[in-house]
Chain A
């Protein structure tokens, strides 16, 4: 990257008076504490009430363990597809002009605004066993989409659509095209240019977008509960398992699963943050 990454703080703005600064800081911190930190502490205390051994026991139950595994691998498949297709979408949106481009650009964010429950219902109507498409798949290949694992991946892809696109797009927009032009002058084909020049500059936004979507997928509930069929050991994901434990008053089991999901997601978010900071410090190649 030849341009310096933009920073959020600007040193030229006038600073508020000391007491104002103090009030602002304490307001921000208490908001953070009330909204995020305290609930997190409560759930951790609950889940660890029987020690790490108790947590491990709750998670290693076959149904819980398989729900967690299913969640992780479907999220991983989604993240990989999302990385490839999201990068492609961003590339098309930045590099090409075509009619309806601004509309398409706006549509990208739609999944963040649609209730995930609605996403689930839409997918069942479109791909359910009784629908044209779902029925065709069933007849041709003998496997269903809805009430099966492909439905879970599909729902995750839908709700996480914007993450990679929106991470890659701004970087691509600020991308200095000198290197690409130089490569072209030296006789490189457009595919080679993309692989050897453009893509290396994009790995950071692609990775962070994909990892963030992965983290969001871990907790996804609304769309999954509709499309998965919720069969223990087969199509039940961690979040739906969690609801069952909450509803059947198994609080410790519910908290244990919450802790694992939270830790995974939080770990990923921290990792992405670290990646981004490292990327910003790296000297231009």
Chain B
């Protein structure tokens, strides 16, 4: 009895250890589709535009049926941007990749799966934008209005882990960029050392680094933390769902640009190139851009921007990854590599 029981437990233990150690890889297979038989598109997306795609997909399917006379069904997968990018590289056969940041599309291209240049008009390959902003408790009890307020001693901050989350990387760059541009009180413009010190004083206040942007805001909704640094659209979607936290837009912040691309290797395998490209083109249409705007994302279409100005007030000092940091290829390693600015800062701050 004793021996038997311990044996069972040993086995359970061995299995759970394996389960926790083995790298995961999702590899659903899809049937190849002819042009006239029903098509199936696999969408590999990051987590935050889930609600928008929920509305976009049926609309596209109806239009495609009218235009091409073909039924199209979708399989949708939503993961943290970095995780989704890795899954696609490791064999998750997504026809279309819609991710949080350009660097994650680049990883798929580097693996040889995207062979065309995805930085195409109308918006250089970007399909939606957002900004880094803050969620605060109802009535803003901690009186948070700008980046400088986040360094107040004792404040409890939530932001995701840049190791696993694209959103987290945007957050860090927004904070650092604002400081470097002289937009944070007490930090002279262009003073890197002072910007790093400011980054550290904010990181000191972080109480949890969740896996992804969605997990982080959910944690905030549970009641933890005084402020969550996150995408503006996460806060708007949460408010729409009945959450009573408030949105604070800092004076200076980064424009989050979300790319979308057809994955050449997989569409050719599946025979879905035509419908996949049509879907991506559809996402740039005014109609689709309005739906993104409805679900908290800032549109790229000039007319839609004009029409939604009340909901999305312009930011006083808005900067981009390109003009402030020279693009993701440069910013990625500089900030989040093993000896990057963020990696060193978090190590110094959290050292017991």
Contact = CB atoms under 8 A, between A and B. Distances in A.
Interface of A: 5-8, 36, 39-40, 43, 61-63, 112, 124-125, 128-131, 146-147, 162-163, 166-167, 170-171, 205, 208-209, 212, 215-216, 218-221, 225, 229-234, 239, 242-249, 251, 254, 258, 261-262, 265, 269, 272-273, 276
A261 B224 contact: no
Given A5-B3, A63-B347, A234-B352, 19 more contacts: A5-B2, A8-B7, A39-B22, A40-B18, A43-B21, A62-B347, A130-B224, A170-B5, A212-B9, A219-B21, A231-B346, A232-B209, A232-B347, A233-B351, A233-B352, A243-B164, A248-B82, A249-B86, A265-B13
Nearest to A264: B17
6 contacts: A128-B222, A163-B9, A216-B12, A232-B209, A234-B350, A247-B163
A128 B223 contact: yes
Interface residues of B, number: 45
A208 B1 CA distance: 14
B210 A230 contact: yes
B195 interface: no
Contacts of B82: 247-248
Given A63-B347, A219-B16, A248-B164, A147 B23 contact: no
A258 B223 CA distance: 34
A6 B1 contact: yes
Contact of A231 (B2, B206, B223): B206
A272 B6 contact: yes
A234 B156 CA distance: 16
Contacts of B146: none
Nearest to B10: A269
Interface in B82-137: 82-83, 86, 107
Nearest to B7: A8
A218 B21 CA distance: 11
A10 B163 CA distance: 54
Contacts of A254: 23
Contacts of A261: 17, 21
A199 to B, nearest CB: 17
B346 A125 contact: no
B20 interface: yes
Nearest to B350: A233
A76 B222 CA distance: 30
B277 interface: no
Given A232-B346, A247-B82, A262-B17, A208 B164 contact: no
B18 A39 contact: yes
B13 A244 contact: no
Interface string B318-348: 0000000000000000001010000000110
Nearest to B90: A249
Nearest to B2: A170
B20 A220 contact: yes
A124 B225 CA distance: 13
Interface in B187-214: 206-211
Most chain B CB within a 10 A radius of its CB, from A62, A233, A273 = A233
A5 B209 CA distance: 49
Contacts of B3: 5-8, 276
Given A62-B347, A212-B10, A216-B16, A262 B5 contact: no
Given A43-B21, A167-B2, A232-B346, A243 B211 contact: yes
B141 to A, nearest CB: 13
Interface string B1-38: 11111110110111011101111100000000000000
B163 A248 contact: yes
B71 interface: no
B164 A233 contact: no
B76 interface: no
Contacts of B5: 166-167, 170
A220 B351 CA distance: 23
Contact of A229 (B23, B207, B223, B352): B207
A237 B351 CA distance: 14
